[in-house]
Amino acid sequence: MAHLEVKPKSGTPWWLWLLLAIIALAILLFLFKGCGNKTADVVTTDSTAVSTDTTLNKEDALAATEPDWNKVDFNAPKSSDPDVTDKDISVSGNDEYTIYTLGENILFATDQNAVQGSAEAKLKQIVASLNKRYKGASIGVFGNTDSTGTAGHNKQLGAERAAAVKDWLVKTGGVEDGKVSIHSFGEKEPVASNATASGRQQNRNVEIVAFPTKQ
């Protein structure tokens, strides 16, 4: 009888294993990429929602924003107010706002920043006009000085004088605290020449601006 030699089967070729490994790696990369895209979609959705909320917040904020005080023309034409009869009070302005001006010497004693008693009757006239014509309006109190001293000192002095007038308007005049803001020009907005004593006296003043909020 003839002898038949049976050869054992050879193992799986190495290149087939390599091919399977490459295919598996490609599948894993595809899955990871898909997960990354889903994450990006969620972030985009959240970002849109935040953006919408921000828009709403901005609208709310705009409703409470102060007027643009830079628009106030302190050289506006003089006007009159039947509730303001004191000649020491200057009234000016236009259809958008009214400016009440009082000299520093009327409001304050020399080198002082506390409103003196003799000025209260004048401030009461201004408050009467504010309550009658500008109830709920934004009120800006501006302090002005002459050019004597340093610019920094004058800026601070103007702010202190404005703060003192605001304090009186709120505590004695009954004006709403949140409606009154303080500003200081220092020596930057003179209404007369600082070369003369009378001019410097005119430049030392406090201006109260009533700026009605537009509906």
Given the DSSP bridges, would you call strands 98-103 and 90-93 parallel, antiparallel or unpaired? antiparallel
Q: 100 and 32 in one domain?
A: no
Specify if 4 maps to a domain: no
Specify if 160 maps to a domain: yes
pLDDT tens-place string over residues 53-112: 322 232 332 334 578 888 889 889 999 899 899 999 999 999 899 999 998 788 887 667
For residue 8, count other CB atoms closer than 10 A to its CB: 5
Range of the domain at 48: 15-65
What integer pLDDT is reported at residue 40 of this predicted model?
Answer: 34
Number of domains comprising the chain: 2
What integer pLDDT is reported at residue 46 of this predicted model?
Answer: 34
Q: 56 and 147 in one domain?
A: no
Specify if 198 maps to a domain: yes
pTM here?
Answer: 0.65
Q: 130 and 56 in one domain?
A: no
Q: 78 and 60 in one domain?
A: no
Q: What is the DSSP secondary-structure string of 9-28? A: PPPPPHHHHHHHHHHHHHHH
Q: Which residues contact 116 (CB under 8 A, 6 or more apart)?
A: 107, 108, 109
Q: 77 and 24 in one domain?
A: no
Specify if 8 maps to a domain: no
Closest CA to 89 of 135, 131, 132, 120: 120
Q: What is the DSSP secondary-structure string of 45-67? A: HHHHHHHHHHHHHHHHHHHTPPP
pLDDT tens-place string over residues 137-148: 999 999 888 788
What integer pLDDT is reported at residue 99 of this predicted model?
Answer: 95
| Confidence grade of residue 171 (pLDDT, cut at 50, 70, 90) | very high
Specify if 205 maps to a domain: yes
